[in-house]
Structure 1
Amino acid sequence: MTLRLYDTATRAVRDFVPLHEGRVGVYVCGLTVQSEPHVGHVRSAVNFDVLRRWLLASGYAVDFIRNVTDIDDKILARSAEQDRHWYNLAYDMKRELDRAYDALHVLPPTYEPAATGHVPEMVELILLLVERGHAYAATDGSGDVYFDVRSWPSYGELTRQSVEDMEPAADADPRGKRDPRDFALWKGRKDSEPPTASWPSPWGRGRPGWHVECSAMAGKYLGDAFDIHGGGVDLRFPHHENEQAQSRAAGHGFASYWMHNAWITTSGEKMSKSLGNSLLVPAVLQRVRGIELRYYMVAAHYRSTVEFSFEALEEAASAFRRVEGFLARVPVASPGDEVAASLPERFTHALDDDLATPVAVGAIHDTVREGNRLLGEGDLAGARRAAGEVRAMLDVLGLDPADPHWTSGGAADDLTPVVDALVHGLLEQRAAARASKDFATADAIRDRIKAAGVEIDDTPDGPKWSIATDAR
């Protein structure tokens, strides 16, 4: 089956055909590092990490670029509120973001360009747009430069809007604009802004507009035309609409496919700092492990809105622990180089169908159930095959508990939840054996648990476990 992806531009699922055989260029809009990341922020990174892993498992080489916006109106405003240098705020928040990505095992990008390191490329792109008649310098002395939306007949095609139906762009003073929908490519420095937040340009000192940053960085590392541009659904307009317009107006093919992940919401609203309902990643990781939070995000389709609750998160964590419990009972070698060949057909078809991760996760649990059945029947070879398939599927999703990232402490997880998952898996198998009156198997499982230094107490509320005193 050919990989098919939902393209926002055409609003259809279509076959993925890379521009260059065997190699895929992906650009994902990263975060503006103004504050600590919450779980809504990192969903995009996890979703596109799954895309990247599946492309790699499918045999492609992947050039994966994810930028960092480290100069922005919001960064300047927040740093002023905190009475600190803007670059110090951006640097600290970038470190927090890196820790959050690492906790969720998001692979490092091929390159992670920062906006402040690419101002010359942005100025070059703006000059090209001015030369081609698609941009102009404001005549009000502000030093601003705007993209002329009326000069580009295709403006609005990504989100299927007409210029007349759009709200005025709110990224600069409208007095210097020919049309209120024109958006800023360059912002002249204001006296209220720190001198360090400006760069020289043909229009005077200033800084780039947000939209031109991504166009310039994507072009530098992926070329004038590349395969996939991704980001959160809230970026479709105006950010991605403006990116596409200015890039194609400059004569660049830009992105062949546009992909957007949906929000994580709380009480039906987008999770954001402004709503005061954000859940910072370190706080959430006090409740569950990083691998469990990743599973929670991966189990939902990337285009589906997720209504966050700790109850749902705990349910997802319990489901993942059942998978771990099965694997703990049937140790297998690492999938190694044969991962793609050992993936069940239902799993591969699911991911080829616009990354249908709910179906893929269902395939994992089906295989776990089959493996438990085989294990109960004493078919150890069959159970090992099932465990190998489970490991291979988890590996593609970044969820293999035997991955060195999860086992080496790279995600800074506490070991107690791991032990809990393994013990509960054995207890579930013991309960099933007792329910079927297979007391010999139930006793064997109990002895195995005890031999590992774990005491079991059968209470009216169910079995409870603790580390035996002589095992500490």
Structure 2
Amino acid sequence: SKSKGNFFTVRDVLEGRATGVKVHPAVLRLELIKSHYRANMNFTKKGLQDSAGMGKRLADFRRKLEAACGGKPAEVDLTHPILQQFAEALADDLNFSRALAVVAPWAAGDPENPAEALAVLNRINHVLAIAPLEGSEDFGSDDSSAGDIQELCRQLDQARASKDYAAADTIRKQIQEQGYDVKTTPQGTVAEKKLA
């Protein structure tokens, strides 16, 4: 409440005035739908961090599926067990918490048919609207410094290749200071925007 000083607008949360950290809109949406609409919600920075983690896992799952099937989902099978369980949870008085409990372990797995799994994820995301939609950019992609970050990633790879580890550490810190996690993959350095 305003009298207790714990009242925040959506803009306050997104711009970081509520928690000290900017929050991606999809992370806030996920945090808000995790609680049942009839229940009081305990809005905390820890909750936002948990939601950011789940959003990141879903985005990573999408990338993994797209890489495995060339970005081409199969036709959606509405009888897929995950879609059935997801729909049942939502039919239970919009129980998003239960619906997310269906999606989370599935997204942590390794589906046998990536094209089918991508189609299922797309269908789920049309309801949740929390993971990047097909054809859209990832979380935080509206950042105008994305090209600069990619260039820094290339420089980091070059510094590592020439065994200039001091320069590599400096470049890594520059990337992290701009709000990115830095990961080394077989294809090279990848910088992922922190979600919260």
Question: When the two structures are superposed, what TM-score results if normalisation uses the length of structure 2?
Answer: 0.60
Q: What secondary structure is seen at the aligned counterpart in 2 of 1:275? A: coil
Matched, 1:390 2:143: no
Paired with 2:23 and 2:103, the residues of 1 have a C-alpha distance of 21
Query: Conserved in 2, the CA contact under 8 Å of 1:300 and 1:357?
Result: yes
Question: Is the partner of 2:185 in helix, strand or coil?
Answer: helix
Q: Give the Cα separation in 1 of the matches to 2:144 and 2:57.
A: 16
- Kept in 2, the 8 Å contact 1:299–1:358? The answer is yes
Deviations 1:46-71 (A, max 9, x none): xxxxxxxxxxxxxxxxxxxxxxxxxx
- Alpha-carbon distance in structure 2 between the residues aligned to 1:301 and 1:416: 37
Which residue of 278, 285, 294 maps to 2:14?
Answer: 285
**Amino acid corresponding to residue 2 of structure 2 in structure 1:** K
State whether structure 2 residue 56 is matched by structure 1 residue 321: yes
Residue 9 of structure 2 is aligned to residue 275 of structure 1:
no
Distance 1:321 1:385, change over 3 A: same
Paired residues of 2:59 and 2:138 also in contact (CA < 8 A)? no
Please report how far the alpha carbon of residue 283 of structure 1 lies from its aligned counterpart in structure 2 after TM superposition.
2.7
CA contact (8 A) 1:335 1:392 kept: no
C-alpha deviation, 1:324, in angstroms: 0.5
Q: Which amino acid aligns with 2:125?
A: L
Match of 1:301 in 2: 36
CA contact (8 A) 1:335 1:391 kept: no
> Which residue of 79, 90, 95 corresponds with 1:356?
95
- Give the percent of matched residue pairs that are identical in Structure 1 and Structure 2: 22
Partner of 1:53: none
Aligned-residue offset at 1:307: 0.8
Q: Give the structure with the higher percent helix.
A: 2
Letter of the structure 1 residue corresponding to residue 37 of structure 2? Y
Count of matched residue pairs: 145
Which runs of structure 2 are paired with 1:36-51 in the superposition (5 Å)? none
After superposition, the C-alpha distances for 1:149-172 in whole angstroms (9 at most, x for unaligned) are xxxxxxxxxxxxxxxxxxxxxxxx
Mapped to 2, the partners of 1:415 and 1:340 lie a distance apart of: 39
- Cα 1:323–1:387, aligned 2, differ >3 Å: closer, same or farther? same
Amino acid in the other structure paired with 1:329: K
Alpha-carbon offset, residue 323 of structure 1:
0.9
Structure 2: segments with no counterpart, 5+ residues: 16-21, 150-183
| CA distance in structure 1 between the partners assigned to 2:144 and 2:126 by the alignment | 20
- Measured at CA, do residues 339 and 307 of structure 1 come closer, stay the same or move farther in structure 2, by a change above 3 Å? farther
Alignment partner, residue 45 of structure 2: 310
> Which whole-Å CA distance do the structure 1 matches of 2:11 and 2:77 have between them?
32
Provide the residue aligned with 1:366 in structure 2: 105
Aligned-pair CA distance for 1:386? 2.0
Q: How far did 1:333 drift? A: 4.2
Structure with more relative contact order (C-alpha pairs < 8 Å, separation 6 or more): 2
1:352 to partner: Cα distance:
0.6
Distance between the aligned counterparts of 1:313 and 1:360, measured in 2? 18
Q: State the AA in 2 paired with 1:356.
A: N
Tell me the amino acid that sits aligned with residue 318 of structure 1: G
Q: Which amino acid aligns with 2:143?
A: D
Aligned to 2:6, what secondary structure does the other structure show? coil
Could you report, residue by residue, the CA deviation over 1:183-219 in whole angstroms, capped at 9, with x for unpaired residues? xxxxxxxxxxxxxxxxxxxxxxxxxxxxxxxxxxxxx
Note closer, same or farther for the CA distance 1:325–1:396 as it changes in structure 2 (3 Å cut): same
Using a 3 Å threshold, how does the CA distance of structure 1 residues 383 and 293 change in structure 2: closer, same or farther?
Answer: same
- Indicate the SS of the match to 1:307: coil
In structure 1, what is the Cα distance between the partners aligned to 2:137 and 2:2? 33
TM-fit CA distance, 1:446:
2.2
Q: 1:294-320 CA distances to partner (integer Å, 9 max, x unpaired)?
A: 011112221221111112111111111
SS of match in other structure, 2:61: helix
Between the aligned partners of 1:387 and 1:360, the Cα distance in structure 2 is 17
Give the superposed CA RMSD.
Answer: 3.5
Alignment of 1:191-270 (within 5 A): none
Corresponding letter in the other structure for 1:304: A
Cα 1:340/1:274, change in 2 over 3 Å: farther
1:334 deviates by 6.7
**Distance (Å, rounded) in 1 between the aligned partners of 2:46 and 2:145:** 20
The alpha-carbon deviation at position 390 of structure 1 amounts to 1.9
* Counterpart-to-counterpart distance in 1, 2:77 and 2:143: 28
CA shift for structure 1 position 383: 2.5
